[in-house]
Structure 1
Amino acid sequence: MLYRGFSQSELEQEYSPSSMVGGDLTPYLNSYAALSAQHRAQMTVQENLAYGGSPTQVLDFFPAKGAGAPLHVFIHGGYWQALSQRESAMMAPALIEAEQSFATLNYTLAPNARIGDMVEECSNALLWLASQAETLGFDPTRITLSGHSAGAHLASMVMARSANDLARAGLRVRDVILISGVYDLEPISLTPVNDPLQLTPVEVNDLSPIRHLPRPGPRYHVTVAERDTPEFIRQSRDYAELLRKAGHAVSFDLKKGMQHFDIIMHSGTFLAVSR
């Protein structure tokens, strides 16, 4: 038995979100890039702000119209091996309209970094933002952290590993929005997705959010597309239930009519959070 009774081909299909949209991601990736470029051209943005010493350790910041606004931080997906903050600003106008500042993070991709390194980079980006709150003009006590797909995994692990460090730095994460994420890395390690990741059994254990729940505090909003694969939906349900049993304030939302790649193109995915 490979994993939960799946054959190899079945498991690969379950962990291939593109299998639900005909296998061709190009239209969605093109839309991400085009919309992000359009918003950058039309909006105020500070690009490639360095939070670390590597060229990949940068973020882009879209300020709210007024000082002291909440901040929404987004971690992009791409199965830990694709995309960047450059294609991850589709939601900027809706968040600015909702009077939130917006930061979209970049991090080093596989095979040039291991997943644990990516978690640390995302944590460091948030710590850097905490140190720059006054300069950038946002309220560090009103933070929303969101992530899509692999980004949801990274956001989960940031909260599991670094919540205390963030709090000591003065950053209060009030809401965590996890969108079509992966919370158990075991099946990933058994598919070709693992080829550039090269996950070890120790990493599968240490970096799976289902095995390392954060302390209660923020409100968790676990959401997944109705047309995600059954395994993506199951993982999201299971993680939401584990959070609930651990005492977290948590909601679960199955987004009707959406699939893995268009769920982040709907502003409601990011705005269904009470301030």
Structure 2
Amino acid sequence: MLYRGFTQAELDQEYSPRSMIGGDLTPYLNSYAALSAQYRAQMDVIGNVSYGDSTAQVLDFFPAKGTGAPLHVFIHGGYWQALSQRESAMMAPALVEAEYSFATLNYTLAPDARIGDMIDECRNALLWLAANAPDLGFNPSRVTLSGHSAGAQLASMVMATSADALARAGLRVRDVILISGVYDLEPISLTPVNEPLQLTPVEVHDLSPIRHLPAPGPRYRVTVGERDTPEFIRQSRDYAELLRKAGHSVSFDLQNGVQHFDIIMHPATFLAAPR
């Protein structure tokens, strides 16, 4: 029996978010690229900043208008095998207008990297930001970390494995916003999504956020689109409940009228309440 009693066809559909929009991602991918390019052209941005040795280990940084602003860091999705920071600046204007600095991270994609490598890269990008906070002009004690889809899994695992290292570096993550994420990798390992990932049983266990909860501290918002697949909604709800039972400050919300691909085009998704 497959995961949770699904047939193979049912499981494949549940973990194919495009099944909820008729199968064609092209309009959304085109919008991501066009809006991101427009905002990079219109706004102050330090692009393709290297945080590591690989050409994939780069980020784009949009400074706030003044110094000492909080920082919002975004980890893009793409099922660990697509997209980059170059298509992930849609939220930059709203965040800078709200007086945040904004960084969008790139990382090496599958099959050139394992998911564990991607988690390490995202941690290293955050450590680089912490080390360079004085030059970049943001306040490293006021950081929001967000991630979409696969990026939510990466953000969750960074918090589960590296929160202490980030704190020692002077970077305090106060809010974590997890958007239409995957928190149990077992079903991913049973679908065509796994072809470039080649997840092992050990990786499924060690890299699934539901099995490795972070220590309490930041405030968590777990959000998902009303028109996402039932399994994406269930995974988000279940992960939020696990965080709550573990003593976290956490909220779960189902955003009306949006789905997996347009949820990141709404500023309200990213603008957490101040604390």
Q: Deviations over 1:250-272 (max 9, x none)?
A: 00010000000000000000014
Residue 222 of structure 1 aligns to which amino acid in structure 2?
A: V
User: CA contact under 8 A between 2:175 and 2:272: conserved in structure 1?
Assistant: no
State the match for 2:14 in structure 1.
14
- CA separation in 2, counterparts of 1:121 and 1:114? 11
- Verify: 1:148 aligned to 2:148, yes or no: yes
Q: Which runs of 4+ in 1 moved over 4 A?
A: none
How large is the Cα RMSD of the aligned pairs?
0.4
Partner of 1:200: 200
Contact kept? 1:175, 1:273, Cα under 8 Å = no
Decide whether the 8 Å contact of 1:77 with 1:148 is kept in 2.
yes
Cα distance in structure 2, aligned partners of 1:75 and 1:156: 11
**Pairing of 1:156-175 with structure 2 (within 5 A):** 156-175=156-175
2: distance between equivalents of 1:264 and 1:82? 16
Please give the secondary structure, in 1, of the residue aligned with 2:48.
Answer: strand
Read off the aligned partner of 2:80 and give its amino acid letter.
W
SS at match of 2:89: coil
**Which residue type is aligned with residue 160 of structure 2?**
A
**1:273, CA displacement in angstroms?**
2.5
Matched, 1:134 2:145: no
Give, in whole Å, the separation in 2 of the partners of 1:135 and 1:111.
35
**Alignment TM-score, normalising by the size of structure 2:** 1.00
Number of residues of Structure 1 aligned to a counterpart in Structure 2: 275
- The alpha-carbon deviation at position 81 of structure 1 amounts to 0.1
Partner of 2:108: 108
What is the distance in 2 between the residues matched to 1:159 and 1:153? 10
Q: Where does 1:159-238 land on structure 2 (aligned, <5 Å)?
A: 159-238=159-238
Q: For 1:271, what is the secondary structure of its paired residue?
A: coil
C-alpha distance after superposition, 1:103-133 (max 9, x if no partner): 0000000000000000000000000000000
For 1:33-52, list aligned pairs within 5 A. Answer: 33-52=33-52
- Kindly indicate whether the alpha-carbon contact (under 8 Å) linking 1:39 and 1:92 is maintained by their aligned counterparts in 2: yes
Structure 1 residue 26 and structure 2 residue 26: aligned? yes
Aligned partner of 2:265 in structure 1 is 265
| C-alpha contact (below 8 Å) 2:205/2:211 kept by paired residues | yes
Q: Which residue of 1 aligns with 2:2?
A: 2
Alignment partner, residue 55 of structure 1: 55
TM norm structure 1: 1.00
Q: Distance in 2 between matches of 1:25 and 1:273?
A: 31
Q: Which runs of 5+ in 1 are unaligned?
A: none
Give the share of equivalent positions with the same residue, in percent.
Answer: 84
Aligned partner of residue 3 in structure 2, secondary structure = coil
AA aligned opposite 2:244: R
Question: By how many angstroms is 1:45 displaced?
Answer: 0.1
- Report the Cα distance in structure 1 between the residues aligned to 2:180 and 2:155, rounded to whole angstroms: 12
